[in-house]
Chain A
């Protein structure tokens, strides 16, 4: 077919055609707002964050310590069994040095972001977070890190109660 068709449908527009109103168009700006109840597992998780602690759930069937915590094990498909505190230290599994903000706008000072697997949870289980107190040239996969918590009075029960993960200092646990 591609060899037999000579005209392919579609009329290309430039950004100016659209944004400067050179083509007939219509516009709309949605104003949707949401409030989520955090549910059973995440409510406890967020309360513990406010206290400066990370918590997981255990599954006695597969013997995993599940983080982020959940009330059911997706593998065994049964309710999880108990709460278990884990450590606020871990290892950088992967990272990015981002020059893009949420809307794909360019930023000058890059955001260091990635996945940290946490000590005390089952292997490779962790969370996405920012990294700080290190430069883009210092960050590396395998680096040992520790949560830098906001002062207790500033915490509000959010993953942002951890400001970022910073390099683990010598002798520190």
Chain B
């Protein structure tokens, strides 16, 4: 396998509604990523598109629809899709194109336009449930988070205050992010705890709401990076992904075993034997505040039940020992599902190359891990990147 580096990244604003079409958003993000790497579309050997359920955009087979905006026209082009996991999986798909030697340069473009779906994208989220076992109960997607969060809180005796701290940290971290939809420098734990109860224990400020947005990264082989004398690069040193059974009512939801399996795969490739010591910062998937804690434990960066303690002690703050979601995450920047690659892979690149501006972690960092999660509480994918 060849060594693969991220050499450019770009993203649009994340907003509840953007005027641009999905194709236009893809073009903006892809062009920015190529410009930042100093490349043109002619340098690109393969294009990967990541985008979540077709029903949001209202265009079936939207990989093909978005093609031109992604720069994939007349090139090897593939759409990958694993629900929320797409935000990291598409970069892994880019990695395997380059690592295998099939491509020297791969462009990965992720998009989500959730505002098109009326009155609220929640209505089409209902279609992910099993038609026989679940759908007659008229489920709402927030239920799965509520049920998982409640189980996690119950098993470890976690208090809601400790979970709310994650939302506060990430919405404050997002203040330095130029694309952020939900940055709030003044938010407090009480604001979260006093926000509207949606599906207890989930309250309004525990959730990242729907967004429109796109993001892109450029991947290249080590040879290409040397030949073109590209200075700003961060190596993708480990990748892993794993999915659990569709029978989600058959497993204990308090721990995401599938994330742990994906993490172990990625750590093995990255030669990481002690993740807590060898990883300097993390961008776990945080569509809900408890998910950051759940995923830190799945990523083996905290023991089971320990992530709320690390958060309370400030370890996961940007200037802490293990900064978590220095980008502001989905809670702070926004949640256009697949396009969250901008905070997950994009942020690792920007942090590791010293380009994160106001969000730059104040101490030196060499290795970061990002993770996304998706499908019906099933899917974990993990990328380790190193300076």
A interface residues with partner B (beta carbon < 8 Å): 1-5, 8-15, 17-18, 23, 28, 30, 34, 36, 38, 42, 45-46, 66-68, 70, 74, 93-104, 110, 113-115, 122, 124-130, 136, 141, 158-160
Instruction: Report whether A98 and B140 are in contact in the complex, using a CB–CB cutoff of 8 Å.
Output: yes
Instruction: Report whether A102 and B150 are in contact in the complex, using a CB–CB cutoff of 8 Å.
Output: no
| Known interface pairs A2-B357, A68-B249, A124-B251; A17-B17 also in contact (CB < 8 Å) | yes
Question: In the bound complex, how far is the Cα of B133 from the Cα of A34, in angstroms?
Answer: 16
Contacts of A28 in B (CB 8 A): 58
- Known A2-B359, A94-B154; 15 more pairs at CB < 8 Å: A1-B36, A3-B357, A8-B178, A10-B213, A13-B19, A13-B115, A14-B17, A30-B58, A36-B132, A42-B133, A95-B147, A96-B143, A96-B146, A96-B202, A122-B250
Please pick, from B139, B201, B247, the residue contacting A102 in the complex, using a CB distance under 8 A.
B139
B interface residues with partner A (beta carbon < 8 Å): 8-20, 25, 28-29, 32, 36, 58, 115, 119-120, 122-123, 126, 131-134, 136-140, 142-143, 146-148, 150-151, 154, 177-179, 196-202, 212-213, 232, 245, 247, 249-253, 349-350, 355-357, 359-360
Top 7 A-B pairs, shortest CB-CB distance: A10-B13, A96-B146, A3-B357, A104-B122, A9-B28, A98-B199, A94-B151
B18, B134, B143, B232 — which one has the most chain A CB atoms within 10 A of its CB? B143
Instruction: Report whether A130 and B147 are in contact in the complex, using a CB–CB cutoff of 8 Å.
Output: no
Instruction: Report whether B133 and A94 are in contact in the complex, using a CB–CB cutoff of 8 Å.
Output: no
Question: In the bound complex, how far is the Cα of B17 from the Cα of A166, in angstroms?
Answer: 43
A2, A10, A130 — which one has the most chain B CB atoms within 10 A of its CB? A2
Contacts of A159 in B (CB 8 A): 132-133, 136-137
Please pick, from A4, A10, A93, A98, the residue contacting B28 in the complex, using a CB distance under 8 A.
A10
Instruction: Report whether A2 and B355 are in contact in the complex, using a CB–CB cutoff of 8 Å.
Output: yes
Question: In the bound complex, how far is the Cα of B201 from the Cα of A95, in angstroms?
Answer: 9
Work out how many contacts link A and B, with CB atoms closer than 8 A: 185
Q: A157 to chain B: closest CB distance in Å?
A: 10
Q: B300 to chain A: closest CB distance in Å?
A: 23
Please pick, from A8, A15, A38, A158, the residue contacting B136 in the complex, using a CB distance under 8 A.
A158
Question: In the bound complex, how far is the Cα of B14 from the Cα of A2, in angstroms?
Answer: 14
Please pick, from A11, A13, A38, A74, the residue contacting B132 in the complex, using a CB distance under 8 A.
A38
Q: A25 to chain B: closest CB distance in Å?
A: 9
Contacts of A94 in B (CB 8 A): 147-148, 150-151, 154, 253
| Known interface pairs A68-B133, A95-B147; A101-B17 also in contact (CB < 8 Å) | no
| Known interface pairs A10-B20, A93-B151, A94-B147; A3-B136 also in contact (CB < 8 Å) | no
Instruction: Report whether B18 and A11 are in contact in the complex, using a CB–CB cutoff of 8 Å.
Output: yes
Contacts of B25 in A (CB 8 A): 9-10
Question: In the bound complex, how far is the Cα of B15 from the Cα of A14, in angstroms?
Answer: 10
Instruction: Report whether A13 and B17 are in contact in the complex, using a CB–CB cutoff of 8 Å.
Output: yes
Instruction: Report whether B12 and A8 are in contact in the complex, using a CB–CB cutoff of 8 Å.
Output: yes
